[in-house]
Structure 1
């Protein structure tokens, strides 16, 4: 009974933490998004609508039809939170301007034939934020999900804008979540995304090597597992990520693992992505890793705090993998860009780490 109660408490904390903080021809939307723009106004912007980017927060808002457009009257600030709103708004306006130049934003990861075989694949998409110059490095951003929360705006758009300002191309990944995440679907979606980018590198104006995987929360767990050998990038015949950049990552789902299996893969006995710990995937050839988290992160506490960042740090050090760890006194879960918190500026440090590590990797051996 105690184990059941603990698992339910973990699920509740997970839900609570992430609940907090092609248009008609000739018609183009204006890049006039502000923190006070409502979600309905955002979605009715012709360029946002035409771009195809996913602007919903919870899976039931659009895809399940249970609570249709329940966030329509909320402002962008209400939905995104003050820690990421400025970057998200700037990113949305950049997206509008980019789309209005004729640039395709949304890319489906699967063919129509593959989607016909499994309709959940229709929800797997990449959102492209191009760099200003060709042959740029690129990052793929995986937001947190908590089974039901979709963070493409809070994590993806805000991060895309910040990294675009630094000269990178960015792809925000919408991977399958909730009941659609069965059979390792999120890992498959990430693998397919890297395959798509690699095969179309010239079109996207990016380098195929030295890319970054940037993951928030549970998206960080998926990105970290993908960096390992067992179910990660080697299975998809794509280059190894140049670096792994993680914000308050879930290293170990701990007591939630049985909950995930019960909800997602009820009748399967095979290992799934949530069964793996990032720390368990670390080997000497694991990508250099930058990660941060807060001492007051309630969700990480619920998952056994010492099985999270501390366990990941030990695994990286033990295997001789270059890493940078930042632990902040006041940095709650789900704060994204983290403006106005102890973690403000973390993305600048992460980008510097990315440049430093990939530069070292390109130096010839003595």
Structure 2
């Protein structure tokens, strides 16, 4: 069960803000929507200007993690899947960027492309500014939760999809992550295993079969998909475990490196998980896995599809 969320934490307000875009956004039509009266302050909505919040470690290890919180593409949960995760990872030496991406149901044209535009631009921005942040090339991971896991998986499979017009040198850089972590992710946009609200917010109420397939990452895994780390609970009542099983099967079929952790219980939306529960230790396994992935030289670009 997701913990109670309060006002914006001080760590979030104090973090450096890194804009993604100069000038106008790709796409138009943004329209602010009323915020439900009972919505916690840490559920962000009405994202007109996407950005990253930067969290720096005291002892950097040269690696970066782009964290993508979830929220059914209806809001962005920046505490349990953002700040808390960033604080844990910075303590391990990672430089962390928490992404606030545009929400597709807030009026944007080409709604199904808007989150991927921001994720691609975020990874390219990190790569472009790596020297400024003290980062080493080849050590850029992305970590996504729930609908943010869908966006992370979409970036991992469709990093090269042209979803916006290049505007500067940053857009000539590779948007492929070097590793990806998917935590209780939405993977398929197809019934019966999709998360209904996430799929509706991303694709609308009557998507075509082509639109559904285009945003179902397990169907788009190739030999270029980066090494992947999966976490899911078998009793997840919001996003069925079949989502991660589909991704696992696709990665194995493509002979891509993958590590998967399935827990008997835990439900959905637990972020770091409770320390006394088995789900409370996945991030330590993720750290060990990343160290192993980053110690392995990447495949040459010519070996990618």
Q: Aligning the two structures, in what range does the TM-score lie when normalised by the shorter sequence?
A: 0.7 to 0.9
- Which position in structure 2 is the counterpart of 1:13? none
Per the alignment, residue 140 of structure 1 pairs with 66
Native 8 Å contact 1:110 1:122 kept in 2? no
CA distance 1:233–1:212, shift in 2 (3 Å): farther
1:312 matched to 2:244? The reply is no
Report the Cα distance in structure 2 between the residues aligned to 1:354 and 1:315, rounded to whole angstroms.
Answer: 21
Flag the 1:268–1:216 CA change in 2: closer, same or farther, 3 A: closer
The aligned residue for residue 271 of structure 2 is 336
Bigger Rg, structure 1 or 2: 1
Equivalent of 2:94, from 148, 159, 168?
168
- Report the structure, 1 or 2, having the larger strand content: 2
Quickly say closer, same or farther: Cα 1:233–1:337, change in 2 above 3 A.
Answer: farther
Tell which deviates more after alignment, 133-142 or 260-269: 260-269
Q: Within 5 Å, which residues of 2 pair with 1:223-234?
A: 223-228=152-157, 231-233=158-160
Indicate which of 245, 249, 273 corresponds to 2:185: 249
Q: How many residues align?
A: 269
Deviation at 1:317?
1.4
Matches of 1:265 and 1:336, distance apart in 2: 27
- 1:286 and 2:222 equivalent? no
Q: Secondary structure at the match of 1:106?
A: strand
How does the TM-score come out when normalised to structure 1?
0.65
Structure 1 residues 338-357: aligned runs within 5 Å: 338-339=273-274, 340-357=276-293
Identify which of 169, 190, 193 aligns with 2:122.
193
- 1:79 shift after superposition: 1.2
- 2 CA distance for matches of 1:277 and 1:165? 34
Unaligned residue ranges in structure 2 (runs of 5+): 32-46, 163-170, 301-305
Q: Is the 8 A contact 2:53 2:98 kept in 1?
A: yes
Q: What is the distance in 2 between the residues matched to 1:341 and 1:135?
A: 28
Alpha-carbon distance in structure 1 between the residues aligned to 2:210 and 2:52: 26
What does the per-residue CA deviation read over 1:106-155, in whole Å, with 9 as the maximum and x for residues that have no partner? 12212244489665773311000013346721000111121323212220
Alignment CA distance shift 1:362-1:189 (3 Å): closer
Matched with 2:135 is 206
Paired residue secondary structure (1:343): helix
Q: Give the Å deviation of 1:185.
A: 0.4
Structure having the larger proportion of residues in helix: 1
- Contiguous gaps of at least 5 residues in structure 1: 1-19, 22-76, 81-87
